[in-house]
Amino acid sequence: MDKISRREFLIRGAAMGLAYAGLGLISTPNILEAVTEPAPLGTLDLAVAKGGDPASNTLKAIQALGGIERFVKKGYKVALKPNCLAANPPEIGSTTNPAVMEIVVKMCLQAGAREVVVVSHDPERSFQISGVMEACSMAGARVVAANSRDLYQSVPVLRGRLLQNVEIIKEILDADVFVNIPIAKHHSQTGLTLSMKNLMGINWDRRYFHLNGLDQAIADLSTVLRPHLIVMDANRILLTNGPGGPGQTRDTQTVIAGTDQVAVDAYCTTLFNRTPQEIRHIQYAYELGVGEMDLKNLNIKEISVN
């Protein structure tokens, strides 16, 4: 499979707008538009904050990337997607650390967001036991366990090799900014679950993904909805028995922030002594032109957090 050019990527994005018109929608949701505001000259591809507590690492990584104000403007609705698949406390390393979620909610509201919604297709019990529900609610966000099909909207997958359409959470489609906040961990089928794998929690029919080609489905989905910002929780990573755990963990005290989901995931493979090429959905997404997986081509800054 050949990696598509940037020009072809934009042309296909324009075609997506025409497809939405054909579906009778008044306009394409901003969250799905292929062309976004260019990054400031000299902007980092990845900011990697190490050595502090989860909240401090998160704050420093986002600040190094240009601050939350680069993405969130006054009056914006912001959708945050954690990983709350398993009903485990944060010590297990299978769910996004609640301290990471809390600081991102607070940063968005301080930047002037009119609303922050934390949403995922995960059990409400998992939101509760992981600590994400309490942390985010106390910080001022609305938390939604999207477990009813009427909370989803079908959208076409114009660049997919396997998927033709997916049903995506409406709260995310309605948002001005989408922030993906996964946790880095082992996965029994895909090797690792990182930012693109976390997007499975924004769609309704995950069973179809598993039955028909999980890695390609993940890559296809990544062509539809590209987060404005990815904040990868790698403070404690799950090395074995993922995605639910419990298993062996390692405290890496790291948060990676970036706008390219392929680049973020490619960097995260190094935390597990893997390569991006070993994780098939990273390779497939790269071939579809979603992002860059060669770390030598990326502007990466590592920050030591005291």
Q: Which domains does the chain have, with CATH numbers?
A: 6-32+42-304 (3.40.50)
Classify 302 as helix, strand or coil.
Answer: strand
Q: Are 2 and 289 in contact (CB under 8 A)?
A: no
Inter-axis angle of helices 280-287 and 214-222, nearest 10: 40
Q: What are phi and psi of 77, to 5 degrees?
A: -95, 130
Tokens encoding 116: 């922050």
Check whether 102 has a pLDDT greater than 90: yes
Q: Are 279 and 188 in contact (CB under 8 A)?
A: no
Q: Provide the pLDDT for residue 40.
A: 59
DSSP per residue over 163-214, as a string? -SEEEEEHHHHT-SEEEEE-EEEEETTTEEE-HHHHGGGGBS-HHHHHHH-H
Q: Provide the pLDDT for residue 206.
A: 87
Percent of the chain with pLDDT over 70: 86
Q: How far apart are CA 47 and CA 40, in angstroms?
A: 15
What is the mean pLDDT of the segment spanning 244-248?
Answer: 94
**Position of tokens 């895909």?**
190
Q: Indicate the pTM of the whole model.
A: 0.88
Check whether 43 has a pLDDT greater than 70: yes
Q: Provide the pLDDT for residue 250.
A: 97
Check whether 5 has a pLDDT greater than 80: no
For all residues of the chain together, what is the average pLDDT? 89
Q: How would residue 233 be classed by pLDDT, with cut points 50, 70 and 90?
A: very high
Q: How far apart are CA 301 and CA 92, in angstroms?
A: 28
